[in-house]
Every structure is written in structure tokens, then in C-alpha cells.
Chain A
Amino acid sequence: MKKFIQDLAETHRYQPTHLLPILRSVQSQYHYIPQEAIEQLAQLLNISRTQIIGVVEFYSFFHLSPRGQYELLISDSITDHMSGKKNLISYLAEKLKVAVGDVRQDGVVSLDNTSCTGMCDQGPAGLVNGHALTRLDRPRLDLISDLINQQKPLNEWPAELFLVEDNIYQPGLLLANPIQPGTALRAMYKRGVPETLAEISFAELRGRGGAGYNTAWKWHLCYEGPEEDSFCDIATHRQQQRYVVCNADEGEPGTFKDRVLLNSYAHEVFEGMTLCAAIIGAQQGFLYLRGEYLHLYEKLQAVLDERRQAGLLGSNILKEGLNFDIEICLGAGAYICGEESALIESLEGKMGIPRNRPPYPVTQGYLGKPTVVNNVETFMAAASIAVNGGDWFANVGTEKSKGTKILSICGDCSQPGIYEYPFGTTIQTVLNDCGASDVLGVQIGGPSGTFISNKEFNRQLAFEDLATGGSFIVFNDSRNILEIVNNFTHFFAHESCGFCTPCRVGTSLLKKQLDKIIGGHGSAGDVVALEELCQLVKTQSHCGLGQTAANPVLSTLQRYPELYQSRLKKISYEPGFDLDGALETARRLAKRNDASAHLAQAEE
């Protein structure tokens, strides 16, 4: 092990910022992070062991105790549940003789749940040693357990298990007009660099990651330094190194469009990043790729190489004097790392904890230097705008939302996949196109977004109405809304970084309170208490995760209050714990199960 760790650290030039990729290698080699490795790395990288332990315990894909040689994870996304995930994982557990959450005695295999892996159009999905598995069903699980029991190396597993399809059904402005590598950069140098920023500004491009911040203005702030910011000294700001970061963390359940863009439109995305680098004056860029998309890593590296060879990346790009390169950094299982300042922390080799703001990343981002963070689709749109002009883009969409939005549609529809629409398109149009019928409601923008009922399908996709980072989950009327809300609420509790009290404790309280009501133990005051808790978590949390974690409850409570009420008992107060349930151990010990060994919770 000593040599392995030594060589690994050397490959990464002993850089503490590379802690995540280093730990990914250790985890994949030993199936956990041994204590000796932590001690040795602390020495080699010159950081404290507590930083390393902190990182290991923060990210879902790192472990302090051994996992199986085959680490199997099954996605917990709501769509996976809708296609029978629960039965599948039990089947698999039985087949492999390992309990969910455990490692098999012989150490060969471990099995667990994981948050949405971004394969909702081809689920139920999972991961084996980080590699995506799609379309899981019983025959596939039989095959997988055989392969594991024979201890077949992953590279000898049939390729069809790992097949990931694009499923593009409705290309629009961007997807139907791919640009040739280099054309956006050439167009920029022809038009002029500041003029190109003006073009993006004219296009009124807004960020596609969800929040919709004006992209040109963000780039401008990074280049200029925000004058209003009293904490920032403009003169020193101008001399600083700058960074371009592409946010491909795509952790919002039900979102998978960035996966498709990086699979089939990677040149456009990298070109958009290079454009940004020329505009703000950056030499280094990062693509922060969620760990679940490991399957894209090699392919993307090849695209980067291709671009270097074509003179579109590296030194003196297009002989215009621009020096810029891009590094790909893989995440390790943490939804919070999609939040831009947590992402930057993660890039620096730390736990993904959102920073205090101000200062914002545009003034103090990666290593304290001005940094632009944008979504994958935003960079792609910027490249297209550089080629086709601001008019081309701004002519499409609505007053406050220009251009198109790429949606990843999944759930109850006949054609789950990728659809691109002009902003302003109604939900009904989208539902017609994807083959959805008997629709109960749609979750727009993922768990952090809004649940709309079937009375609202004339509403529009737009920042001024229904904003979405891309997630669009359809539910038909056989679905149980409270189960959906429960799945989302558990997701947030699992993904809360734990930094601030309202979210760390609040998301768990939400989970408990909802479990209580759904379990039929709620009474009159409990829905009121639930709503009060939602408001607190929403208004007092430190970052967007906590601020949106109560949305599933709030948006359904607003639309279907009777649903929550119907679960309540007709008494005014119900204790938080289950009296009869608490006696279970006593009954087991006393080997009794007669009527007097049971207690009613309260007289009804």
C-alpha cells in the first residue's frame, strides 16, 4: 500500500486540491480508505489527517470501513421507485445473500441505496464500482449476481449492462444546430472579444442551472470586479488569476440533460468555457463532473485531447494568444456540491460546505480568485450565441426568458428523454409530446422545484412562471402524492451538508413529522406543526438546499390539504412515539403476543 499511495500522490504532484481524485483512486483500489492511507496522505500532501477524515466522511462514495470488491448501489430516485425499485433491491439482496447497507461476509459484494444517479429515462438504475448500470430488471439482476459470484472483472461484463442512451426526442434551437469545433472561437475573434460579450448580453442569456442569473453580467462582474462590493479592491482584483468552472454536478433528481449534452455536445460545452476564458481572462478551467457520470470521463478526456491537437485548447489557442486548459474533476456523491460555492470547496479538496456570501465566487472563488461558475447548458448556449448572434437567440422565448430550455423528462410517459422547448411553452404541450396520459401532476424543477396539479397545465416554462433546471417528472393518477413527497423529503435529509442548524436538524425533523403523519400517527396539530417547520427551514437555512427542502411538502400541502388531513386521527394530540411499537422488544423477550401485551395509543 505504501508504494501505491506514494505513486498516487506523486502523479497528483502532492497537491492537496487533488484530494478527491486521490481518494477516489484509493477507494477503488482497496474498497475503502484505510487508516494507513490517511496517515500517509496527510504527510505527503501536508494537510491534517482531520481534513482527510472529514472529506471521507462527507462524500457518500468514500468509506472508512471496507465495502465489497463489487460495490453495488441502487438509485433511490422516485422514478426508480415507480418502476419497482423496492422489489428489485430485495430480490438482489436475496440473490446475493447480502442485506441492504451491508457487506457480504466473504467481502466480495456490498449493496446499498444511493441518491438519483441521473438515469431516470432508463431506470431502474444503479452503479457498480462507480459505473452506471441501466434498465435493471430481474434477468439483468440474475446476470449481475452470477457475474459477481464468479468474480468476473468488470471489463469482462457484457457491455449492454452499461449501455447509456441519449434519448433525444425533440431537438430545438441548440440541439438541432450543433456547431463545428472552433467556429464559436473564430466567430469571437472575428467579432471582437468585448463585442462577443455584448452579443451574449444582448441575447439575455440566463443561467440554465436553475437560478437564472444573467450570464453576461456574471462574466462582466468577474472581469471588471463589482464596483459596489465594498470588500473588494478593484485594482488588485484586475491583476488576479481567474477561473472558469463548468457545473456538471447535475444532482437534482430527475435531471439528466447535462449527461446527454456532455455525451453528444461536449465540444460546444468546452468551446463555451473557452469563450468565457477569453472574455474574463482565465487560464484554467474545470469541469466538475458528478461521480455518477464516471462513464463519461474517458470520452470527455478524449474530446479535450482532440481540442488540444486542433489548437482549440492549450497554449496560444487559434494563434490568438489565448492560453487556457480544462481539467475534469469527478465528484464523489454529494448533491450539495452542485451549489456553486460548495462545488468550489470540493474542487479545493475539501468537504462541500457552502460558503458565506458575500464575497461571491465572481470576486473570491476557487483558491480565493475570481471565478465564473455556470451550468453545462449555459456554456453550450453561449457558444451557439457566439456563432449565430444574439438576435437568433433572443427572438425565441418570452420577455424575461430568452431562448430555449432543454428538459429531461421522465416518470409516467411513453417516451422519457430529452426535449428542447422555447421558453413560454405550456406544460400541456410538453405532456402531449412525451406521451403522458391520465396525468395527476408534474414535478417541475425536481424536488427543490414545484409540484403542479392537473389544473395548472396551461402554465408555462419560464423563469417568470415555472422555472426548472431541466427536471420534469410526470406522475399519473395511480401515484400516491404523499409517497412522492416522502421520497423527496428523505432525499434532502440525506443530502443536507449539516453546516447550519435549520437545515441539518430541520430536514430530519421534516422527515420525522411526515413519517408520523403518513404512518397514521398524526393528529390535528400535526399538519400545522409541519407547516411551521417548513417555513422555518425555508427562511432560515444557509443555502439553496435548505431553502428549498420544504418545497415538496409546501407545494403539495397548498394544493392537496385534504390529503394530509385524511391521514390524521380524530384526536387533538398524538404523542410523537408509538406506544405499542415501543413494547415490541418487551413482547419478544417475554414471548407474548396476547391482547394485554398491547397498548392502545390513545382512546379514539
Chain B
Amino acid sequence: MSKLITIDGNTIPFEEGQTIMEAATAAGVYIPHLCHHPEFTPHGSCKLCTVKVNGRTCSACTFPAVDGQDVLNNTQELTDDRRLITQMLFVEGNHFCPSCEKTGNCQLQAVAYHLNMLDNHFPLFYPNRELDASHAEVMIDHNRCIFCTLCVRASQQKDGKDVFAISGRGLNKHLIVNAQSGLLKDTDIEATDQAAHICPTGAILIKRTAYQVPIGERIYDHQQIDQVSLASENSQHDK
């Protein structure tokens, strides 16, 4: 017997053990997210998926669905908060989309469009961050890292390696790689690893592929992130 929750007044079924995010995705309801990916253990850090469950603020990607829950997702208040959280991610790093090779394929950018973000709202931090281009095929541009840990999880849970980790506290958080030299070239990452492809922004890139797909023909140039996300995550589920 399937159990039920409501999201914005619509009743949807869920299976025991599913999170609110999983139930929503399966039912074709998009909840904005950046650090969530259906294939990996949820992390709950970006807070874009914030929803109200029986009046209480929760992260949809980690919170278990329980029979009878009343979930609010697509409200003005939540959209406003999600936009502000996205703006925080933008000002914290150095995201100059027009000159970024990920533009059009970037989930951070796409979610910002989806939330109708038109400016940075907050003052920019302009942090001093570095580039690691030491590896022959994969590079890291720390300016664009949002600490979602998807690369950390993909490497551990999918590639059977342990290439990435997040280190440091507070605003000093940063991505590190598992090599004595601290350089990507001395890790066992390969360009075919899922960890090299999973970055929702342009922080981890495959070299020499930047403009193979021209601007204007990229994923989010013609589709909104909600449609793209639901389609791809449901097909991953079916696999």
C-alpha cells in the first residue's frame, strides 16, 4: 500500500524510506537543488531544496517522507529565500558567467535563471582562489567551487576512489585532492571518472572540450532546469 504526502496541495505517493526530494522527483515535482544527485548519499548543505514540512523548515533532499506530511515547495517566500541563497553562492566565489566555459551547461547559472535572479544582491567577496591545471586532462578552477561535495561522493561511491575532500572551516572551506603534493596530477583521477564530470558548476572541467558545443546550443540555452532535471533524474532512477 503506498503512502501519501501533499506538496503544495497536490497529493503524491511515496515509498517507505524515500526522502521528500525522491518522492517529489518521481511524481514530476521539481524542487530546486544543487548538492543533491539521485545516485549519491544526500548531503544537505546547499539548502536550495528548503521546503516547509508541516510548517517547519526542512531540506527536502535529506528529510524522510512520512505519511500525511503537508509540504510547501513552490511558494513566493521559499522562492525568495532560495534566490537569496543562490545569490550567496554567487558572491562567495568568483562566478563570471560570460567568460566561463561552462556557461549554458552550468546548474548554478540555470537555477539562478529559474529563480529569476537578476543581480548579486549582496556585496561580492572576491576571494583569492587558485587554479589547478597540473593534470593532463582534468582541471580544477577553485573560483567556481560551491562545496556541494558531489565530486567527493562520486569519487568514493561511483569511481571507487577517494580523490576529493572538503577541508577547512567556515568561509575558509576549500576543495582538496588526495595527493601528497596537493596537485591533481598526482591523484589517480581519470577523465572517464564520474567525479570529473559531475560538478554542477564549472569548477571541475575536462580540458580541451570547452567549446565543442557552441554557446546557444547548450543544455540550458533552450530548456529550464526543472524540465532537464526531472527528465534526467527520472531516467537515472529507471536504470
Contacts from A to B (Cβ < 8 Å): 35, 39, 48-51, 53-54, 57-59, 230-231, 334, 351, 356, 358, 493-502, 504-509, 512, 532, 536, 539-542, 576-577
Contacts and interface: CB of A to CB of B under 8 A. Distances in A.
Contact of A48 (B42, B46, B85, B165): B165
Interface of B: 16-17, 42, 44-48, 50, 57, 59, 62, 64, 66, 81, 84-85, 88-89, 91-92, 122-123, 125, 146-147, 162, 164-173, 176-178, 180
A509 B88 contact: yes
B167 A506 contact: no
A54 B165 contact: yes
A53 B66 CA distance: 39
A259 to B, nearest CB: 24
Given A501-B89, A540-B50, A58 B168 contact: yes
Contacts of A231: 17, 64
B168 A57 contact: yes
19 contacts: A50-B162, A53-B167, A57-B167, A58-B169, A231-B17, A356-B42, A494-B170, A498-B170, A499-B45, A501-B46, A501-B85, A502-B47, A506-B88, A509-B88, A509-B122, A536-B84, A540-B81, A542-B44, A542-B47
B174 to A, nearest CB: 8
Nearest to B152: A50
A505 B172 contact: no
Given A48-B165, A356-B59, A502-B88, A540 B171 contact: no
A12 to B, nearest CB: 22
A465 B45 CA distance: 32
Contact of A356 (B44, B85, B177): B44
A432 B57 CA distance: 41
Which 3 residue pairs spanning A and B have beta carbons closest together? A50-B165, A576-B123, A505-B88
Contact of A502 (B85, B165, B170, B173): B85
A53 B166 CA distance: 9
Contacts of A58: 167-169
Nearest to A358: B64
A195 B1 CA distance: 41
B169 A57 contact: yes
Given A496-B170, A501-B85, A542 B180 contact: no
B176 A540 contact: no
Contacts of A539: 57, 81
Contacts of B164: 50
B165 A498 contact: no
Nearest to A539: B57
Nearest to B65: A230
Contacts of A57: 167-169, 172
B170 A493 contact: yes
A283 to B, nearest CB: 30
Contacts of A35: 180
Contacts of B88: 501-502, 505-506, 509
B49 to A, nearest CB: 11
Given A54-B167, A502-B85, A509-B122, 9 more contacts: A50-B176, A57-B168, A58-B167, A498-B172, A501-B45, A504-B147, A536-B81, A540-B81, A540-B85
A542 B17 CA distance: 21
Contacts of B168: 54, 57-58, 498
B180 A39 contact: yes
Contacts of B180: 35, 39, 49
Contacts of B169: 57-59, 334, 351, 496-498
A348 to B, nearest CB: 16
Contact of B167 (A50, A494, A497): A50
A50 B57 contact: no
Contacts of A230: 16, 64, 66
B79 to A, nearest CB: 13
B166 A54 contact: yes
Contacts of A499: 45
Contacts of B91: 505, 509
B171 A504 contact: yes
Contacts of B125: 508
Nearest to A508: B171
Contact of B57 (A53, A512, A540): A540
Contacts of B172: 57, 498
Contacts of A48: 162, 165, 178
Nearest to B34: A501
Contacts of A505: 88-89, 91-92, 122, 171
A394 B89 CA distance: 49
Q: Count chain B CB atoms within 10 A of each CB in A50, A51, A59, A532 and give the residue with the most.
A: A50
Contact of B178 (A50, A356, A532): A50
A501 B16 contact: no
A493 B170 CA distance: 7
Contacts of B66: 230
Contacts of A577: 123
A231 B19 CA distance: 11
B76 to A, nearest CB: 14
B171 A493 contact: yes
Nearest to A546: B47
B170 A501 contact: no
A496 B66 CA distance: 31
A33 to B, nearest CB: 13
Contacts of B44: 356, 500, 542
